[in-house]
Amino acid sequence: MTQNPPDLRPDLAPRARIGAADARPGQPRIGMVSLGCPKALVDSERILTRLRAEGYAISPDYSGADAVIVNTCGFLDSAKAESLEAIGEALAENGRVIVTGCLGAEEDYIRGAHPSVLAVTGPHQYEQVLDAVHDAVPPSPDPYVDLIPAQGVRLTPRHYAYLKISEGCNHACRFCIIPSMRGKLASRPASAVLREAERLVDAGVREILVISQDTSAYGVDLRHAASPWRGAEWRAHLTDLARGLGSLGAWVRLHYIYPYPHVDDVIPLMAEGLITPYLDIPFQHAAPSVLRAMRRPANEAKVLERIARWRGICPDITLRSTFIVGFPGETEDDFRHLLDWMEEARLDRVGCFKYENVAGATANDLPDHLPEEVKEERWHRFMEVARRISADRLAAKVGRRMPVIVDEVDEEGATCRTQADAPEIDGNLFIDEGFDGLAPGDIVEVEVEEADDYDLWGRRV
């Protein structure tokens, strides 16, 4: 069992888990490499579900695949390089490669590096991906054999699932190119989201992770129109959605929450135990001048007041965030302001990026870019403050009892998570003794016995 590293990338989804599956004679097989964030992982699941429905088998490796789909990330230049490397590996190992995802919006860039790819499609262009697969490997369906589960094909462990409620974003942050890649906000009707969540829970999912580019803005484009589910009308609005999801009996974890005023209305639902007391809010910075340069709201004092109110209503709430250090024009005073804000906010879980240019982002043209050594030095200083705060907050949990969900069990013990921990990006709670009979997806009560900077140890009670 491994402990949670302090510099884990907060933008990455868990590694896609594609198990070996028997294929009938003559059944075409497709491989999938899924890169990037949880939203891209959901796209991969949807593509594979459609392919399974059309008679394709899913190959867990290159050698057994008739073609390979690479779902790329294009959020950062380092992510683009990783995507090109993955495409090159798939070409070398298989030779028949279809590219999709965020980097697919830059076809010339991809073909400049890998001209032999079969096709290139952009993000959430499911029909174009299927067309490309059909051209490369014609389908051969057998309606009596090629059945898919009601919840579709999933690339996460059976006990948790990502639930994407919208696409796109209406913000114009200078460091981000998501709106140009994925478009403006496009929300799903509440009934569609709730029905999908219901199917997931019926299939054994114990934890639902709600994702989008801007979860708080959910339904704005639909004018919060209501739609029917379980005999009632449910608005396409964050609070209605949280109530509906909370009624299903699974842990419900909210990611990518922008701190709009109506987020305050979700906190009492956490205090009631209806949804998991956890908010993932990408604050990005705290210095007003940097936030203005980023085109983010510059109201950090009121944010601190709201955090205090949230903790007053729901003392067990966990706050996770990500920050960018070294943004163009960030002064030493700006950075110290951020550190001081961190000391006061006492966030539970924190990730941090060193700023880097992204092709197409308007931040590239800002003056006063910082040297790499300054970004590196500030990143280490930031992470040291975050580490110390994390250690203090975890130490306060020693002696407390709390529910945990089991992720893995091996001969050394059980790797679990508390309600304060999202998969892969946060910490773990380890059970080293008395773990016999535990299985992934079990939710059990533990008493915390030990803490370090990022993880906990406990015993079953």
| Dist. CA 392–CA 370, nearest whole Å | 32
Residues 6+ apart with CB under 8 A from 46: 126, 152
Say how far apart CA 287 and CA 306 lie, in whole Å: 17
Distance between CA atoms of 453 and 433, rounded to whole angstroms? 21
Residue with tokens 């906190």: 267
The token pair at 96 is: 């028949």
CATH number for region 29-136: 3.40.50.12160
Burial of 131 (0-12, 13-18, 19+ CB in 10 A): middle
Residue 292: both structure tokens together: 């203005």
CA–CA separation, 107 and 98 (whole Å): 12
- pLDDT value for 298: 57
Burial (CB < 10 A; 0-12, 13-18, 19+), residue 197, is buried
Is 169 labelled as part of a ligand binding site?
yes
As given in the structure block, the two tokens for residue 6 are 């302090």
Residue 251: φ, ψ to 5°? -65, 135
176 labeled part of a ligand binding site = yes
pLDDT by residue, tens only, the chain of 461 residues: 444 434 433 344 444 555 545 566 778 999 999 887 777 888 888 888 778 877 888 888 898 899 999 999 887 788 888 999 999 999 999 999 999 988 888 899 999 999 999 999 988 777 788 889 988 998 765 544 444 444 455 556 788 888 889 988 888 888 887 777 778 899 999 999 999 899 889 888 999 999 888 999 999 999 999 999 999 999 999 999 999 999 999 999 999 998 889 999 999 999 999 999 999 999 999 999 999 999 886 566 689 999 999 999 999 999 999 999 999 999 999 999 999 999 999 999 999 989 988 878 899 999 999 999 999 999 999 999 999 999 999 999 999 999 999 999 999 999 999 999 998 889 999 999 999 999 999 999 999 999 999 999 999 99
Q: Which superfamily, per CATH, for 160-395?
A: tm_1862 like domain (3.80.30.20)
140 close to 66: Cβ distance less than 8 angstroms: no
Question: Would you tell me how many other CB atoms lie within 10 Å of the CB of residue 214?
Answer: 20
**110: helix, coil or strand?**
helix
H-helix segments, 296-396: 300-313, 332-345, 372-395
Task: At 315, give phi and psi (nearest 5°).
Answer: -60, -25
- Residue 203: its pLDDT value, please? 84
Q: What is the pTM of this model?
A: 0.74
Q: Residues near 349 by Cβ (< 8 Å), separated by ≥ 6?
A: 318, 319, 320, 321, 390, 420, 421, 422, 425, 426, 427
Tokens of 336: 């110290």
The first and second tokens of residue 421, run together, are 């921990």
Q: Indicate the DSSP class of residue 364.
A: G
280 to 276, 283, 313, 345: CA distances (angstroms): 11, 9, 17, 14
Of 16, 17, 26, 18, the closest CA to residue 146 belongs to: 26
Question: Of the candidates 226, 212, 282, 270, which has an alpha carbon nearest to the alpha carbon of residue 245?
Answer: 270
Extract the tokens encoding 451: 């803490």
| CA–CA gap between residue 107 and residue 131 (Å, rounded) | 17
CA distances from 81 to 33, 72, 78, 93 (A): 15, 10, 5, 18
Residue type for position 284:
Q
416 is in an annotated binding site: no
> 102 labelled as ligand-binding?
yes
The CATH H-level (homologous superfamily) assignment of domain 401-460 is Nucleic acid-binding proteins (2.40.50.140)
User: Strand 67-72's sheet: what is its strand order?
Assistant: 57-59, 29-34, 67-72, 97-101, 119-120
What is the domain partition of the chain in residue ranges?
Answer: 29-136, 160-395, 401-460
